[in-house]
Amino acid sequence: MPKSDFRSPRLFVDAPLAAGQGLALDRDQSNYLGNVLRLAAGDRVLLFNGRDGEWQATLAGRKRPDRAEVVAQVREQDRLPDVHYVFAPLKHARLDYMAQKAVEMGAGALVPVTTRFTQASRLNVERLRANVIEAAEQCGILSLAAVHDPVPLERWLAGRDGGRLLTFCDEEAPEASPVAALAAEANAGASGIDVLIGPEGGFAEEERVLLLAQPRVVRLSLGPRILRADTAAVAALALVQAVLGDGNTR
């Protein structure tokens, strides 16, 4: 089976996938395929649902494609790394970017937490899920990251699994190599990794105390410059995946 086909359009469908099955496309998908991509009946697309792998399908319809006939599986279902991206919500445009990049970096779950200095008072969870789907469609990802409802940071810390490694970025941390700090955990046998990015105002001192009291925690400095929260998210996830995750090629 080919590893991935980045030339064919990919669509997420919330339905079981099997050879010979016909699926009705929703209006947005039909409009995108017919009016934006200029595809017609007989053209091929790729379908995935986050459960059954990736399938090649043939479009059908008169004026514009409104159905897909499933032909054959081209990739088996995979699993996302056990990396949870935990974040203080941002305003819409930057939150969209951050969610998409977290998915591209292989996050298995997106967990919003509210902190003392969180600036965004509301979070559109459905919009967050839509960003997860869009990023997966565009980047050849088969499994969809879970999207959690927002909770206060203190409640999330009280309920999280203490066997998981907690990595959090803190502008108050002493400057040191983040790679070395993470590498020290490489053989410790964590049951999963939580990567926490705080709000632009940073963590309050009482929050920092709670974080450092967690059973397994690595406090990271991302260098001498203050990064925006969305930039810090990409940097931290890249570091964690390279040292401890599925980007580690050692």
Helices 125-139 and 92-104: crossing angle in degrees, nearest 10, is 40
- Residue 93 tokens, joined: 């445009």
Is 83-243 in the same CATH topology as 10-75?
no
Please compute Rg for the chain using Cα positions. 20
pLDDT at 15: 95
pLDDT value of residue 156: 97
Nearest to 121 by CA among 156, 95, 100, 157: 95
Domain boundaries, the chain: 10-75, 83-243
Mean predicted confidence (pLDDT) in 22-28 = 94
Residue 88's pLDDT band, with cuts at 50, 70 and 90, is very high
Task: Tell me the pTM.
Answer: 0.90
**pLDDT in the model for residue 1:** 39
Alpha helices in the chain (DSSP H): 27-31, 92-104, 125-139, 153-159, 178-183, 205-212, 229-243
CATH superfamily of 10-75: Hypothetical PUA domain-like; domain 1 (2.40.240.20)
CATH code at 83-243: 3.40.1280.10
